[in-house]
């Protein structure tokens, strides 16, 4: 029985700016009003990244808007939140992120059953020419699919 997933936010710029080599799933340590705000879909992954400090993983720059009915229980929307991962995953990430040019970039935020999860990608930065090539490939693929659709109609 697979648990249902509900998409909250995606970081579409991550795939444009980085090569994502591996992805990891992690839980988020959240306060009550943050969960309610996420259920309303009020999160932004832009400019966020993950770091590993003292054997624990943290997400920095993840913006979860304050819950409208949260009053005094709301917390700082841009606070650093702890990621819930297995120790062996964190240890392997420590070794990989110390390599030249690797970073931990969140790619999507979603609910898996009742729990909020975040997908983190082990990413290498793209150079400008890589970005241009990716855009050219995307345009070419779109043109080919358009031509095939028109050919099937006619």
pTM comes to 0.77
CA angle 93, 98, 100 (to 5 degrees): 125
> What does the pLDDT look like over 73-86, one tens digit per residue?
778 888 899 999 99
Nearest residue to 60 (alpha-carbon basis) of 38, 76, 39:
76
Q: What does the domain layout of the chain look like in residue ranges?
A: 5-126
Identify which of 66-70, 92-96, 150-154 has the greatest average pLDDT. 92-96
Tell me if 90 sits within 8 A of 55, measured CB to CB. yes
Q: What CATH fold (topology level) applies to the domain 5-126?
A: Small Protein B; Chain: A; (2.40.280)
pLDDT level of residue 61 (50, 70, 90 thresholds): very high
pLDDT tens digits along 5-51: 889 989 888 888 888 989 999 999 988 888 888 888 889 998 899 99
pLDDT at residue 154 in the model: 67
128 phi-psi bin (left φ>0, alpha ψ -120 to 50, beta other): alpha
Average of per-residue pLDDT across 66-78: 80
Query: What percentage of residues in the chain have a pLDDT greater than 70?
Result: 98
Q: Smallest Cα–Cα separation from 29: which of 64, 54, 66, 4? A: 64
What would the two tokens of residue 12 be? 């579409």
**Is residue 3 scored above 80 in pLDDT?**
no
pLDDT given for residue 58 in this prediction? 95
Do the Cβ atoms of 91 and 136 come closer than 8 Å?
no
């Amino acid at each position: 029985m697979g648990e249902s997933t509900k998409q909250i936010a995606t970081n579409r710029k991550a795939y444009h700016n980085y090569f994502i080599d591996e992805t990891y799933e992690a839980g988020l340590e959240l306060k009550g009003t943050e969960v309610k705000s996420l259920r309303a879909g009020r999160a932004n992954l832009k400019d966020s990244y993950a770091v590993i400090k003292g054997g624990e993983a943290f997400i920095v720059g993840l913006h979860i808007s304050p819950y409208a009915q949260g009053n005094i229980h709301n917390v700082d929307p841009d606070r650093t939140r702890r990621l819930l991962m297995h120790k062996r995953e964190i240890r392997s990430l420590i070794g990989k992120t110390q390599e030249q040019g690797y970073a931990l970039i969140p790619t999507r935020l979603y609910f898996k059953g009742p729990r909020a999860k975040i997908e983190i990608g082990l990413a290498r930065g793209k150079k400008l020419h890589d970005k241009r090539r990716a855009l050219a490939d995307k345009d070419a693929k779109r043109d080919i699919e358009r031509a095939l659709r028109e050919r099937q109609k006619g």
